[in-house]
Amino acid sequence: MKKIITYGTFDLLHYGHINLLRRAKEQGDYLIVALSTDEFNWNQKQKKCYFEYDKRKQLLEAIRYVDLVIPENSWEQKISDVQEFKIDKFIMGDDWAGKFDFIENETDAEVIYLPRTPEISTTQIKKDLEAKKK
């Protein structure tokens, strides 16, 4: 069984997220999504989510491509997650290209950067909604 892991906030879930999860699942048999906690998003990324962690987790668990959702609490946990869950492929969107190459050197996992869906992002949705208020 090939195990895959990806990381993200997955706030304001949209079809770009679904595309990424579908393509990640196509890389193996079992997809784990490490979902950024509210505390991690605020303390490390300075991001405030629209939906709280539990709601985002519930949405991800309802997606057929996702087999398991775990919390992402720190940047540093990626190596231990790959080792603990015996991950074969570590997958991120290509906006992170090169940032996680070190994982291949420290684990047996292959690092893959998948292309994003270019016309959609949570950041863009938030900007568009803010512009409509004006």
Residues forming the active site: 45, 47
CA dist 128 and 22 (Å) reads 26
Least Cα distance to 23 among 80, 73, 77, 63 occurs for 63
Alpha carbon of residue 64 to chain centroid: 15
Residue 120 in tokens:
């959609």
CB atoms within 10 A of CB 88: 19
